[in-house]
Amino acid sequence: MTGFLRRHWLLLVLLAGGITLRVLVWLAYEPALLYIDSFRYLGNLDALRPTDLNPLGYTVVLKALLSLGGLAFVETVQHVLGVLLAVSLYALTLRLTSRPWLGALVAAPVLLDAYQLQIESMLMSEVWFQALLVGALWALLGRGEPTWWRAGVAGVLLGLAVVTRTIGFTLVMPMVAYLLLVGGTWRRRGGWKRIGARTAAGVLGVLAVLFPYSAYFYSQAGYWGLTGATNNVLYGRTASIADCDELPPDDAGLQLFCPDVPLEERYGVDYYTHYVYGDPNWPPEGLPDDRSKEELASQFAREVIRNQPVDFVVSILRDFAKNFDPIKQTHHNDVPVQRWQFQLTYPYYNVGDSSLEAYNETTYAYDGTPPRANPDLTAFLRAYQLGGGYTWGPVLAVFTVLGLLAALGVGRTRRAGLRAAAFLATGSGSIILLGAASFEFSWRYQLPALVLLPLGGALGLAALLRPRDPGAATTTRRTTLDDYPDDVDAAAVADFRQRYGNSPLTPLVVVIAAYNEAKGIGAVLREMPTHCGDLPVSTLVVVDGATDDTAKIAHEAGAFVCVASRNRGQGAALRLGYHLASESGARYIVTTDADGQYDNNEMPMLVKPLLDDTADFVTGSRRLGSYQHDSAIRWLGVRVFSWLATVLTLQKVTDTSFGFRAMKAELATSVTLREPQYQSSELLLGVMARGARVLEVPMTMRLRNNGRSKKGRSIPYGANYARVMLGTWLREYVLRGGKRSGRAVRTS
């Protein structure tokens, strides 16, 4: 059980938050939230008309649930389904990547996004649509290369998704492309036959649902179809951009359908879809010829698209891009975002001549109570939502880009084995947003992408983070460290004691982690000061499983040398150095790098606040001082992570990864350190969470004096650094109750 909790602790934290929020939503609005579409579903429970605006998938589900309970029961089931969706996505990500933190990253939007919570509390189809999409993903991705029968199951689930929300039809294309491309079985004998069988099974699975449903539609309407909404949504899109002068001037019907206001004064797609075409009394003067309203709308849309293809495409792309806005807001003429936000009072929408009466009759009929809201809970939920409790558009854009990089096989993603899966998730999420934008933009239509784009992004990130060589995946390096001392630590300390005794170090010790730094460490040690103030300086070089002469050169330069038997990462070496220095007589510890990037002559300025007892932890800052850089991405990363640390801790931080630091020895050994490589932010946030007096001082940072950085490429390094920072914050501030509002970081 301890191992399970340790492996999945981040998901458990997110689950606790997600479940708590859902309970608050359930209590805040009773018996459930009702939107305009909710009354359409409820009004069609008995007749089950396929020709209504909404397809019958959710209506059938709603009919079954209401036979078991009231509206509050339906909301409960939908909230439970939302939690199960998050857990399913976590498990699928874990199966594909073996990285729990990536699974938590995928589950977080579903668990914590306030717009997701709000739609789950409504009698609306979204969460069921999402569930069908996740089911299809599991069928295709859950157990390696899909067989024909699993492809068929995925097809059936997508078919059910289409009759729940017709936009699901756009997902057939990425499913077929995935089935054609995945696995490379065409290289083997009979490969094309296998590909054809599973692709055909997927398509037949979709048709197995859509054909009988469309036949039922035909029996009711007299023509083949899936929903009665086909013409009005396309008419709304084209009416908002139509240039009436481009239409045939002698066609009275098409001219009648073109809005008689200038383009710059036109309303949005929603207005022409629902309040013009959707009005049964429009046009008031009747139709000019024997063409039906549906026929004229269809012909009008075709003419506008043919005459103004650029305008049509640009309008769709403009709406598609809105999904990645940093703030959810109502754009000009769009569906108001307020419809999908928690309100302080129970929200009523216009559903006829007497909306209040309609709401009261409905809630009394099913739950025996009027609609009501708890003002304290609604205020909290609204503040959470408007305060940023949702998936930010730029984050969704990053997920999309990462998924596309993996799908295209950029760089090391080509050999990661995740290209097809990343393509399926990212392609499906992108096409569903694009398909929705083709008709009209609404923040509600973004929600299905929450179960697709984060998964694609996580797979892309896992592909980027894969080991450089095929054999590296089986090396002994761990993603986290065991408690100090582990076997490697104990052996290294024993060897050090045998060579140097128990207390060979001075009260001020400089700890340097070194891995294959034979070319540069000699120059660093020669520049090391012998005293800081009245304290003599000794240098401890922790050689982290090096395969060159690093240990020999460090010893010849006069440093104390501790040798770890294998390479575990800079974080592991520094942690070993902190404990060994403290156990060997050090009161103060300074860290610097073995590559000559820091000016050791600045050490007295770094140590002085410790000696004066005005700080417990002093870190240099390149942004307060000066530095050279050879990567624009890392230049940006320094600023991004400084901003993130400031937001997480509510304390101003200008540089989270500066390696030239000084600290009290007992503080260095008291912080939990488990990161073998990306440890600098873990130490800084751990120190701050303990309420230590932290001081930033201006320092100089130079380029390496030799070789290349071992931190890896900028994007994977940045992703891992963000993972460590967020994980440390959750561990130290959320789980352990760190002093988030404690002593501020000071600058000097």
Nearest in space to 600 (alpha carbons), one of 666, 662, 553, 656: 662
**Rounded CA gap, 171 and 159, in Å?**
10
544: which strand partners?
Answer: 564
Query: Distances in Å between the alpha carbon of 229 and those of 603, 641, 642?
Result: 72, 47, 49
In a domain, 49, yes or no: no
Residues with Cβ within 8 Å of residue 187, at least 6 apart in sequence: none
Q: Confidence band (pLDDT; 50, 70, 90) for 225?
A: confident
In a domain, 480, yes or no: no
498 and 605 together in one domain: yes
Nearest in space to 214 (alpha carbons), one of 294, 159, 154, 156: 159
- Is it the case that residue 3 has pLDDT exceeding 60? yes
Nearest in space to 643 (alpha carbons), one of 628, 635, 653: 653
* Virtual torsion, Cα 47, 50, 55, 58, nearest 10 deg: 30
pLDDT, one tens digit per residue, over 25-55 is 999 999 999 999 999 999 999 999 998 889 9
317 and 355 together in one domain: no
- Decide: residue 714, CB within 10 A, 0-12 exposed, 13-18 middle, 19+ buried: middle
**Rounded CA gap, 533 and 317, in Å?**
64
Amino acid 353: pLDDT: 60
**Rounded CA gap, 213 and 304, in Å?**
31
623: which strand partners?
Answer: none
569 and 673 together in one domain: yes
Tell me the one-letter amino acid at 11: L
In a domain, 598, yes or no: yes
131 and 120 together in one domain: no
Two structure tokens written together for 466: 């894969």
pLDDT over 90 percentage in the chain: 56
**Rounded CA gap, 744 and 627, in Å?**
25
**Residue 564 DSSP one-character state:** E
Q: Confidence band (pLDDT; 50, 70, 90) for 223?
A: confident
**Rounded CA gap, 141 and 128, in Å?**
20
Please count the structural domains in the chain: 5
Whether omega before 31 lies within 30 degrees of 0, making that bond cis, reads yes
627: which strand partners?
Answer: 701
Residue at which a domain ends, from 339, 365, 389 = 389
pLDDT, one tens digit per residue, over 131-183 is 999 999 999 999 888 889 999 999 999 999 999 999 999 999 999 999 988 75
For the four alpha carbons of 38, 43, 44 and 50, in that order, the dihedral sign comes to negative
271-300 mean pLDDT: 85
Amino acid 585: pLDDT: 86
Tell me the one-letter amino acid at 126: E
Two structure tokens written together for 80: 């439970």
**Residue 51 DSSP one-character state:** T
- Decide: residue 607, CB within 10 A, 0-12 exposed, 13-18 middle, 19+ buried: buried
582-611 mean pLDDT: 90
In a domain, 52, yes or no: no
pLDDT, one tens digit per residue, over 305-340 is 999 999 999 999 999 999 999 999 998 888 899 999
571 and 664 together in one domain: yes
> Which of residues 481 and 162 earns the better pLDDT score?
162
C-beta of residue 595 within 8 angstroms of C-beta of residue 582: no
Q: Confidence band (pLDDT; 50, 70, 90) for 740?
A: very low
Q: Confidence band (pLDDT; 50, 70, 90) for 298?
A: confident
448 and 355 together in one domain: no
- The full length of the chain comes to 748
679-691 mean pLDDT: 90
Residue at which a domain ends, from 227, 249, 274 = 227
In the chain, count H helices and then E strands: 30, 11
Outline where 43-99 has alpha helix (H). Answer: 57-66, 71-97
DSSP 240-268: TT--GGGS-TT-HHHHHHS-SS-GGG---
In a domain, 295, yes or no: yes
Widest pairwise Cα distance in the chain: 104
C-beta of residue 57 within 8 angstroms of C-beta of residue 160: yes
Q: Confidence band (pLDDT; 50, 70, 90) for 24?
A: very high
C-beta of residue 64 within 8 angstroms of C-beta of residue 20: no
In a domain, 30, yes or no: yes
Comparing 11-20, 348-357, 715-724, 736-745, the range with the smallest average pLDDT is: 736-745
Comparing 1-10, 148-157, 732-741, the range with the smallest average pLDDT is: 732-741
Two structure tokens written together for 1: 């059980």
Amino acid 188: pLDDT: 47
DSSP 440-473: ---GGGGGGGGGTHHHHHHHHHHHHTS-SSGGGG
266 and 341 together in one domain: no
3-state secondary structure of 704: coil
Comparing 124-128, 260-264, 743-747, the range with the smallest average pLDDT is: 743-747
523-528 mean pLDDT: 89
pLDDT, one tens digit per residue, over 66-118 is 999 999 999 999 999 999 999 999 999 999 998 899 999 999 999 999 999 99
Residue at which a domain ends, from 440, 475, 510 = 475
Amino acid 75: pLDDT: 97
3-state secondary structure of 144: strand
Full domain range(s) for residue 221: 126-227
Two structure tokens written together for 533: 């103030």
364 and 403 together in one domain: no
651 and 723 together in one domain: yes
Two structure tokens written together for 121: 């509390």
Name the residue with tokens 């063409």: 291
In a domain, 482, yes or no: no
- Is it the case that residue 187 has pLDDT exceeding 90? no
In the predicted model, what is the mean pLDDT of the chain? 87
**Residue 598 DSSP one-character state:** B
> Which of residues 747 and 177 earns the better pLDDT score?
177
Amino acid 737: pLDDT: 66
C-beta of residue 526 within 8 angstroms of C-beta of residue 555: no
- Is it the case that residue 471 has pLDDT exceeding 70? no
Residue 278: φ, ψ to 5°: -70, -10
Residues with Cβ within 8 Å of residue 167, at least 6 apart in sequence: 432, 435, 436, 445, 448
160 and 239 together in one domain: no
CATH code, 511: 3.90.550.10
C-beta of residue 30 within 8 angstroms of C-beta of residue 372: yes
**Rounded CA gap, 439 and 437, in Å?**
5
- Is it the case that residue 747 has pLDDT exceeding 80? no
377 and 410 together in one domain: no
372 and 413 together in one domain: no
In a domain, 597, yes or no: yes
276-287 mean pLDDT: 84
